[in-house]
Amino acid sequence: MSPIVAKLGGSLAGSPQRDAWLAALCASTRRLILVTGGGPFAGAVRAAQKGMGFDEATAHRLALLAMEQYAIIVAARQDRFALAATRDDIAAALARNRIPVWLPSTMVLAAAEIPPSWDMTSDSLAAWLAGELAAREILLIKSRDVGALASARGLAEDGVVDPLFPHFAAQSRACVFIAGPQALPGARKNFSSGVTPGVRITCEAISAGPAAA
């Protein structure tokens, strides 16, 4: 059975909801891979870029390390989590009924199709990973709820997901769900029953533009 890629928003890093979501994810009876946002570490990269004036490629590498810093913290919260940097790491963790928490630098820096730009954040990286692993579902866990008729393009326009997410989500061919605070109370039961919490959103195929060429 193909896995689910779940992305935990960096905005939840300092929220009590974070550990509740992690406990719910660990109740999953389906194979699941966890991608973390950059949290406060990504914010530090943005601030440093503004103050120090380094280029987008440098910021891209630092943002990946920011995701890894947050991933290390998250992985320490639950015994079922296992840090994973490569496809083999991910496969090995899943084979042991563990939940791999992705360290993205190794795979992403080797992928020419990923632009070194703030237009592609951890949301799009989760969608890209889903495509690479033939995952059947993507779940974005956010600090806000979205409407039942939401689309990836509309959410990108509203700043809920990054500008390139509609492209990579459609390219992955996975079903996409977004879960916010309203989905949290029932999330553990849903995961333990094999049900993905949240609202399913539509994904239209659009061009990624020159940045992702």
pLDDT at 31 over 60: yes
CA distances from 195 to 26, 27, 60 (A): 13, 11, 34
Given this model, what pLDDT does residue 142 score?
96
Task: Identify the helix (H) or strand (E) that includes residue 32.
Answer: strand 32-36
Q: Are 187 and 21 contacting, i.e. CB atoms less than 8 angstroms apart?
A: yes
Instruction: Please tell me the predicted confidence (pLDDT) of residue 207.
Output: 52
pLDDT of residue 210: 37
Average pLDDT score over residue span 199-207: 79
Q: What is the mean pLDDT of residues 93-116?
A: 97
- In whole angstroms, what is the distance from residue 55 CA to residue 199 CA? 37
Query: What's the average model confidence in pLDDT over 113-131?
Result: 96
Which comes out higher in pLDDT, residue 200 or 205? 200
Q: Could you tell me which residues come within 8 angstroms of residue 205 by beta carbon, excluding any fewer than 6 positions away?
A: 167, 170, 171
Over residues 160-174, the pLDDT tens digits come to 999 999 999 999 999
> According to the model, what pLDDT value does residue 213 have?
26
Q: What is the pLDDT of residue 1?
A: 65
Model pTM score? 0.93
For the chain, percent of residues with pLDDT exceeding 90: 91
Was domain 4-212 assigned CATH 3.40.1160.10? yes
**Spatial strand order in the sheet of 81-84:** 81-84, 99-102, 32-36, 4-8, 137-141, 175-179, 199-201
Does the structure show a pLDDT above 60 at 175? yes
Average pLDDT, rounded, for the chain: 93
pLDDT of residue 149: 85
* The pLDDT of residue 48 is above 80: yes
- Tell me the pLDDT band of 206, cut-offs 50, 70 and 90: low
On the question of pLDDT at 211 being above 50, the answer is: no
Reported as a single tens digit per residue, the pLDDT across 53-80 is 999 999 999 999 999 999 999 999 999 9
Residues in the chain: 213
* CA end-to-end distance (rounded Å), the chain: 31
